[in-house]
């Protein structure tokens, strides 16, 4: 390999590298500066960055990295389609890029001078848009688009006249169009040669009516990511020599090989007559590099395969039905409060199928005090969720047996209940949704004086927002909130027992790439003559306290913590191979809360240090060391609690 190809470290200079994806370089020049724009998921969300290009001693470097567009946080910017769509910049300083906007894609125009998005362009009959290329004078935008039929064709949008023209209209896959400086030629990559499935070549077409498609490159290979150089030749990436390298196509049709790296170069753009900036695959990720042009080598001659009018018909094949084979996704011990239902603690095992369309959740706990009560006091629940359609649904069944105590630890009553549940989840868009749920269960309650046996229904509706970004131990950026209203009714008497009101707000402020300040505020209230008592505490509520230490018909809780990395990854080298033992992260926390029935009780709090060990990506072990306080004094004891679960 090394003898035939050059290691990329010897022939390229890193402009941007690291354990993230950096792709789609685009250069904007003024008389004073040259600026590089690119797309990266450096902080998790797909974003567009800009950096000044500095040339010193014949080498390029970047300075003053700035994030100018952030995806994944609001409607219209759900995704920037990293790895499948390129960005482009006009001489006038307009940046064109694609984002997902609800059910379709849209083109966004970012004004570099003004520092803001000034225009959004979408088409109701085009659901998929990729690689918008804005002309040098900003008057035209060429892009690859697909309608509901799935045809991927080249379109040309006239910005000034607000006119859209479809340049190709067939079943071939057309990608990555570019526009020449005189606006007279559009070059793109397509599989319209070689019967539609043996590779991609470069083609050109004129914006004029009834223009013929001309084939520019030939061969059983993939020619992709074309760009015009300063002298109007075409740079592109191709695997025609076995590895993806950069080639140059002259106006006379002569093809030259410009690089010979071993790992692959993509998306070339010319910086000057001696230097190319491109995307390079190395060490399992994509980075942006600069390459000095090598003396061009005439590419091998290839036969002219010619343009096909229709793709070859695929042979008949059998279709097998998809079988949902469930596999372990993650484990979670959790403090549960279900609207109009119960609060409690259980351990849950989550299973999903390969497509993550179907989820199976099994919850287990036990309150037995002797072997004879083991089965009687087994708390178990199973729930199935189907996410394969836009409107999701869930079905479940459960059996619970709990003893309840007051704030002083005295026995109040025992409850035994079993029944079923149903949930419908209605998305508004990627970030907002409504949830409607109902539960019907048999309730047996007894205390030292009386017994209650009846049938209960609990119903609720929730409005949810979620823009959170997760790492292995929990969210690190974004926000989540849940607003819920519900009721609990006695079916036998057809009487409302109580109303349920719930507000849960969580916000995550990024402090650095792997650290954050996280805050959570919760208010819960059960209002009515027969309102259930809410219990809370423990590692996922008030750290340093026991789970049942707080109880009341109303609850207020604020959690704050600074999350930071301790060990990024633990590797264990064994004779039969390496294994990862996960990551360790820490947290400095302050918790404040109270629970009451009629009159607000005094606030209590805790503060301390937490450790989180994420093992295998499916379980997080938690260790919290806390001090308790009533805001007049601090407890002498230092409770240490072990738990399993993700950060709030």
% of the chain surpassing 90 pLDDT: 58
Pairwise pLDDT comparison (114 vs 569), residue with the higher score: 114
End-to-end alpha carbon distance in the chain: 49
| Out of 92-106, 190-204, 542-556, 560-574, least confident range | 190-204
pLDDT at 301 over 90: no
pLDDT at 162 over 70: yes
Q: What is the pLDDT of residue 307?
A: 60
* Across 429-435, average pLDDT: 94
Measured from the Cβ of residue 119, the count of other Cβ atoms closer than 10 Å reads 13
Q: Which two tokens stand for residue 301?
A: 């001659």
Q: Which two tokens stand for residue 564?
A: 């930071």
Q: What is the pLDDT of residues 618-631, one digit of tens each?
A: 789 999 999 999 99
Phi-psi region of 271 (alpha: psi -120 to 50; beta: other; left: phi over 0): alpha
DSSP string, 149-212: T--EEEEEEETTTTEEEE---SSS-EEEEEE-TTSS-EEEEE--BGGGTS-BEEEEE-SSTTPP
Phi-psi region of 283 (alpha: psi -120 to 50; beta: other; left: phi over 0): left
What is the rounded CA–CA span in Å between residue 290 and residue 58?
Answer: 11
Pairwise pLDDT comparison (527 vs 344), residue with the higher score: 527
Pairwise pLDDT comparison (409 vs 264), residue with the higher score: 264
What is the rounded CA–CA span in Å between residue 302 and residue 593?
Answer: 75
Sign of CA dihedral 612, 613, 617, 620: negative
CA 280 vs CA 16, 264, 612: distances in Å: 10, 6, 35
pLDDT at 347 over 80: no
Q: Which range scores top for mean pLDDT: 129-138, 192-201, 412-421, 450-459?
A: 129-138
Per-residue DSSP letter, 315? P
pLDDT at 91 over 90: yes
Q: What is the pLDDT of residue 504?
A: 96
What is the rounded CA–CA span in Å between residue 330 and residue 474?
Answer: 12
pLDDT band at 137 (very low <50, low <70, confident <90, very high): very high
Q: What is the pLDDT of residue 570?
A: 82
Q: What angle do CA 468, 473, 478 make, to 5 degrees?
A: 15
* Across 599-616, average pLDDT: 91
pLDDT band at 68 (very low <50, low <70, confident <90, very high): very high
CA 491 vs CA 456, 497, 499, 525: distances in Å: 5, 10, 15, 22
Q: What is the pLDDT of residue 195?
A: 65
Q: Which SS3 state, helix, strand or coil, does residue 585 take?
A: strand
Query: Cβ distance 214 to 193 under 8 Å?
Result: no
Q: Exposed/middle/buried for 3, CB within 10 Å: 0-12, 13-18, 19+?
A: exposed
Extended strands (E) in 313-377: 327-337, 343-352, 358-366
Q: Which of 198, 205, 215, 159 is nearest to 179 (CA)?
A: 205
Q: Which of 100, 85, 28, 95 is nearest to 224 (CA)?
A: 85
What does DSSP say about strands 469-471 and 451-466: parallel, antiparallel, or unpaired? Answer: unpaired
What is the rounded CA–CA span in Å between residue 346 and residue 364?
Answer: 6
| Out of 52-66, 82-96, 298-312, 491-505, least confident range | 298-312
Query: Cβ distance 79 to 46 under 8 Å?
Result: yes
Q: What is the pLDDT of residues 583-596, one digit of tens each?
A: 999 999 999 999 99
Q: Which of 364, 316, 320 is nearest to 344 (CA)?
A: 364
Tokens 């596999």 sit on residue: 327
Q: Specify the pTM.
A: 0.85
Measured from the Cβ of residue 113, the count of other Cβ atoms closer than 10 Å reads 8
pLDDT at 303 over 50: no
Size of the chain, expressed as the number of residues it contains: 648
Our measurement of the distance from residue 286's CA atom to the centroid of its chain's CA atoms, rounded to an integer in Å, reads 18
Edge-to-edge strand ranges of the sheet holding 174-179: 174-179, 186-190, 201-205, 214-215
Query: Cβ distance 60 to 290 under 8 Å?
Result: yes
Query: Cβ distance 621 to 612 under 8 Å?
Result: yes
Q: Which SS3 state, helix, strand or coil, does residue 600 take?
A: coil
* HSE toward the beta carbon, residue 442, CA cutoff 13 A: 7
What percent of the residues of the chain are helix, what percent strand, and what percent coil, each to the nearest 5? 0, 60, 40
Q: What is the pLDDT of residue 374?
A: 65
Pairwise pLDDT comparison (575 vs 90), residue with the higher score: 90
* HSE toward the beta carbon, residue 219, CA cutoff 13 A: 17
Q: What is the pLDDT of residues 213-226, one digit of tens each?
A: 999 999 999 999 99
Q: What is the pLDDT of residue 416?
A: 86
Q: Which SS3 state, helix, strand or coil, does residue 344 take?
A: strand
Question: Under CATH, what is the fold of the domain 406-644?
Answer: Porin (2.40.160)
Q: Which two tokens stand for residue 402?
A: 């709990």
* Across 155-162, average pLDDT: 96
Q: What is the pLDDT of residue 2?
A: 46
Q: What is the pLDDT of residue 337?
A: 52
DSSP string, 38-105: EEE-TTSS-EEEEEEEEEETTEEEEEEEEEEEE-SSSTT-S---TTT---EE-TTSEEEEEEEETTEE
* Across 390-399, average pLDDT: 94
Strand-pair partners of 349: 331, 362
pLDDT at 506 over 70: yes
Question: Are 8-298 and 406-644 in the same CATH fold?
Answer: no
pLDDT band at 580 (very low <50, low <70, confident <90, very high): confident
* Across 72-77, average pLDDT: 91
pLDDT at 123 over 50: yes
Q: Which of 141, 51, 48, 138 is nearest to 90 (CA)?
A: 138
| Out of 30-44, 72-86, 531-545, least confident range | 531-545
What is the rounded CA–CA span in Å between residue 8 and residue 1?
Answer: 12
Query: Cβ distance 48 to 36 under 8 Å?
Result: no
pLDDT band at 559 (very low <50, low <70, confident <90, very high): very high
pLDDT at 365 over 90: no
Q: Whole-number mean pLDDT of the chain?
A: 88
pLDDT at 36 over 90: yes
What is the tally of helices (H) and strands (E) in the chain? 1, 46
Q: Which CATH architecture has domain 8-298?
A: 6 Propeller (2.120)
Domain boundaries, the chain: 8-298, 406-644
pLDDT at 287 over 60: yes
pLDDT at 74 over 60: yes
pLDDT at 338 over 80: no
pLDDT at 304 over 60: no
Q: Which SS3 state, helix, strand or coil, does residue 9 take?
A: helix
pLDDT band at 302 (very low <50, low <70, confident <90, very high): very low
Q: What is the pLDDT of residues 349-359, one digit of tens each?
A: 888 988 889 99
Q: What is the pLDDT of residue 505?
A: 98
């Amino acid at each position: 390999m090394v003898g035939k190809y050059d290691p990329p470290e010897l022939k390229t200079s890193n402009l941007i590298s690291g354990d993230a994806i950096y792709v789609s370089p685009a250069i904007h020049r003024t008389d004073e500066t040259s600026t590089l724009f690119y797309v990266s998921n450096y902080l998790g969300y797909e974003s567009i960055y800009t950096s000044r290009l500095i040339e010193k001693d014949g080498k390029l470097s970047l300075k003053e990295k700035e994030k100018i567009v952030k995806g994944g946080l609001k409607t219209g910017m759900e995704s920037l389609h990293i790895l499948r769509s390129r960005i482009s910049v006009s001489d006038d300083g307009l940046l064109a890029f694609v984002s997902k906007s609800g059910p379709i894609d849209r083109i966004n125009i970012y004004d570099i001078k003004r520092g803001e998005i000034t225009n959004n362009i979408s088409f109701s009959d085009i659901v998929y848009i990729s690689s918008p290329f804005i002309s040098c004078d900003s008057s035209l935008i060429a892009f690859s688009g697909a309608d509901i039929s799935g045809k991927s064709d080249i379109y040309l949008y006239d910005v000034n006249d607000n006119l859209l023209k479809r340049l190709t209209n067939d079943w071939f896959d057309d990608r990555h169009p570019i526009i020449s400086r005189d606006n007279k030629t559009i070059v793109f990559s397509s599989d319209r040669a070689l019967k539609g499935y043996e590779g991609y070549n470069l083609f050109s077409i004129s914006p004029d009516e009834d223009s013929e498609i001309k084939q520019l490159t030939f061969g059983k290979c993939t020619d992709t990511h074309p760009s015009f150089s300063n002298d109007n030749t075409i740079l592109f990436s191709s695997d025609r020599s076995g590895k993806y390298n950069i080639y140059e196509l002259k106006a006379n049709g002569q093809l030259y090989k410009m690089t010979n790296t071993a790992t692959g170069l993509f998306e070339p753009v010319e910086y000057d007559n001696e230097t190319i900036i491109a995307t390079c695959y190395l060490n399992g990720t994509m980075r942006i590099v600069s390459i000095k042009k090598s003396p061009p080598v005439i590419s091998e001659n290839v036969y002219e395969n010619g343009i096909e009018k229709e793709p070859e018909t695929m042979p008949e094949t059998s279709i097998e039905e998809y079988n949902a084979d469930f596999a372990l996704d993650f484990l979670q011990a959790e403090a549960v409060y279900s609207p109009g239902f119960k609060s409690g603690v259980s351990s849950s095992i989550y299973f999903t199928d390969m497509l993550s369309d179907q989820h199976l959740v099994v919850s287990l706990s036990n309150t037995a005090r002797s072997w004879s009560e083991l089965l009687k006091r087994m708390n178990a629940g199973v729930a199935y969720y189907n996410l394969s359609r836009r409107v999701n649904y869930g079905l479940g069944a459960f059996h619970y047996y709990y003893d309840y105590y007051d704030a002083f630890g005295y026995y109040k009553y025992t409850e035994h209940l079993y029944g079923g549940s149903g949930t419908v989840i209605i998305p508004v868009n990627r970030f907002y949704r409504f949830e409607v749920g109902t539960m019907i269960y048999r309730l047996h309650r007894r205390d030292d004086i009386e017994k209650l046996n009846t049938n209960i229904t609990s119903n609720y509706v929730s409005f949810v927002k979620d823009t959170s970004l997760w790492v292995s131990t929990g969210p690190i950026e974004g926000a989540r909130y849940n607003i819920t209203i519900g009721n609990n009714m006695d079916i036998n008497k057809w009487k409302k027992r109580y109303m349920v009101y719930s507000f849960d707000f969580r916000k995550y402020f990024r402090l650095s790439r792997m650290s954050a300040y996280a805050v959570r505020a919760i208010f819960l209230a059960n209002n009515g003559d027969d309102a259930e008592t809410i219990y809370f505490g423990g590692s996922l509520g008030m750290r340093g306290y026991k789970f049942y230490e707080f109880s009341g018909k109303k609850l207020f809780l604020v959690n704050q913590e600074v999350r930071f990395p301790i060990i990024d990854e633990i590797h264990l080298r064994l004779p039969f191979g390496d294994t990862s033992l996960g990551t360790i992260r820490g947290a400095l926390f302050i918790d404040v809360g109270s629970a009451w029935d009629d009159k607000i009780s005094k606030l209590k709090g805790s503060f301390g240090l937490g450790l989180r060990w994420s093992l295998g990506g499916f379980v997080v072990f938690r260790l919290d060391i806390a001090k308790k306080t009533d805001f007049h004094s601090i407890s002498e004891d230092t409770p240490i609690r072990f738990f399993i679960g993700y950060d709030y």
